[in-house]
Amino acid sequence: MAFDDPVVIILILAVVVLLFGAGRIPAFAKSLGLAKREFDKAMKGNFDESGNSQTPPQNVETSTQEDPLIEAAKKEGIDTSGKTKQEIASALSWKLNQMRE
């Protein structure tokens, strides 16, 4: 029995219908189609539904305002390079508790 045999294909389809039910198969097929479409768009580049590129313009300036947590840590003399926000918050908390004592 090979997978290209029509009897095998019918048996596989019958098992799928029994396992998932006839009502869920169209939703499953739709989600597979959407996933394939998203994958294809990602492989080609970041495009919206109309086919326009979603890359931001190169001449737009981004905000240089830093995170208040990072600014507070720098004011207290804490090195923030290479640290997560959780590590920075812990170091800032420890430093402020040391100042209270």
The neighbouring-strand residues paired with 47 are 53
Q: Which structural domain, as residue segments, surrounds residue 28?
A: 6-44
Please check whether residue 87 lies inside any domain of the structure. Answer: yes
Please check whether residue 26 lies inside any domain of the structure. Answer: yes
Judged against a pLDDT cut of 80, whether residue 88 lies above it is answered with: yes
**Gap between the Cα atoms of 89 and 78, Å rounded:** 10
More reliable by pLDDT, 49 or 79: 79
| Phi, psi values for residue 26, rounded to 5° | -65, -35
Chain mean pLDDT for the chain = 79
Q: What is the pLDDT of residue 54?
A: 56
| Domain count for the chain | 2
Please check whether residue 39 lies inside any domain of the structure. Answer: yes
